[in-house]
Amino acid sequence: MPSKEELNIVKVYAHKGDSLTLYVHNKNPILFELERKLYPTVYTLWRFPDLLPAFGTWPPVLEKMAGGADLMLPGVVLPSTGLPGVEQGRLCAVTLVGNRAPVAIGVATVSTREMLASGMKGKGFNILHTYKDQLWASGDKSGPPVIAPLETEASPEEDDEQHSPDLMLDTHESETQMKNLCLTDVAADKNRESEDIAVEEGIETTKDSENISPQEAMDVLLNQCFFQALKYKVKKSDLPLLTSSFLRNYLFSCCPEGEQVDIKKSSYKKLSKFLQVMQQRKILQVKELTKGVESIVEVDWKHPDIRSFAAPVSEPTASSENIDVGTEDFYQPPEIISLYGISAKMMPLFQESGQKKGNLLSQNDVRSMIISYVKKNELVHPENKNFVTVNPVICDCLLDKSEQHDITLLKWDDLVTRCLERMQHSHQVTFPGSSPVIRKGNIEPIDINVAQRASNKKVTMIKNLELYGLDPQSFASLLQQKVQASATCTPLPGAKDRVQVQIQGNQLPHIGRLLLDHFKIPRKYVNGLDLSTKSSKKK
């Protein structure tokens, strides 16, 4: 900053009530402070485009981010040079294809390694600020400059002729097509590399290896890791084993150094399809013990394919430590989204938005549609804009019979809260590398309870781990190693094909650290941790 120029400090409030401090120079906000952390605006990043590690996306995705959406991994373009290496929580910039000028900033929800391990599925970045949002609009509203990429990249016009990025935002299939377009570019570049480089990457080459396609190479790697995991890592006591746990804790850990299994790049495309093929070959048996969650229930270790498999010399054999390392490196908590179904009684509020009975909406969708309805029908109170006038439709949909003659105005928050309470609750769970699963009602939290047994001995019980992709047997083994106490898995009373973990003693503090800090399960999905606080207060 030049010494004689002014730097104004402005305090503003976001729509959620968060307090922000803006640092304004020449009428443009150059920095903003949120929760004692400084973040650059797009105006600053246009002058210093290499200030943050940058991830590319398509222009239609920017419109969604400017509307309040976060950046999902299927919308991230994979360049031929690879993704920047970042850790979880790192501040990053978002650019558009063909232009190095950042158009958004956000915090990475996972590391680059975890992005690739998930097959580029799930949420990638929590977006804080974008070009064309209200913070940008408080400046001179100038557009981003055109800054050429540092290295040659594929022409976006050529890509658009093959895959329209607009479709990527409409359907899941189009997201896959867009991601496969990027992966094809990477694979084509790899295929053109010399035989020596292929060997360094861990791909076995022969005289005819130049003709092997990237898809066939990935099939070979996937089969190698699969059979190595079954022969050297999975034990009979581990069964039944969640397929997601098998992928993270066993299969991924068998991957040679410098390589990464990406099922999307294989001919199978999905883990479920690959396991179905293996089941047809009678190598293993997969069953859906819990609705929407598959488990490996049986493995034929005498199968000729398993018995004849020999692990590469460089790969270590299985040990209990390997399982723990795999769990630490590859587990990602599922993405859980609350959904709200439109009932027949609530239909009048959503008809103008083109919705139908039974449609599922997110909380943000419900809020925006309610705001749109109120503004379209001119229901904002003329004297106090914090209140909404109750018309006959709102009266029938949101008010109880005893309130209909007394309430004529509602606050905005009360209006949205009443609406959400009267809708049909559902939730969507998305495990990394798997398709989203929608279930009715709210998801059951992980429940922790301390019970007293004979001779004043205590035992801690944990249930519902399967709903969050945690294998109870692996969790019990890891917990047992950390606290040096006996842990077992027993059938959960009243729930078919579900188990609970029991461990001796009151282990609430250790379990809390393991779930919240180690596995990154959000606090709101864990019940019973407050028991340790209450017991310490009593003492």
Nearest to 508 by CA among 516, 500, 498, 497: 516
Mean pLDDT, residues 409-427 taken together: 91
Place of tokens 């993270």: 248
Mean pLDDT, residues 456-481 taken together: 87
Distance (Å, whole) CA 379 – CA 371: 10
Taking only the tens place, the pLDDT of each residue in 63-103 is: 888 888 889 998 898 887 788 999 999 999 999 988 999 99
CA dist 37 → 20, 22, 33, 428 (Å): 10, 12, 5, 32
Q: What angle do CA 179, 180, 181 make, to 5 degrees?
A: 90
Taking only the tens place, the pLDDT of each residue in 350-386 is: 988 888 888 999 999 999 999 999 999 999 988 888 8
Nearest to 226 by CA among 205, 252, 264, 199: 252
* Strand pairing category for 54-57 and 28-34: unpaired
- Output 534 or 41, whichever has higher pLDDT: 41
Distance (Å, whole) CA 273 – CA 279: 10
Query: What percent of the chain lies above the pLDDT cut of 90?
Result: 27
Mean pLDDT, residues 335-360 taken together: 89
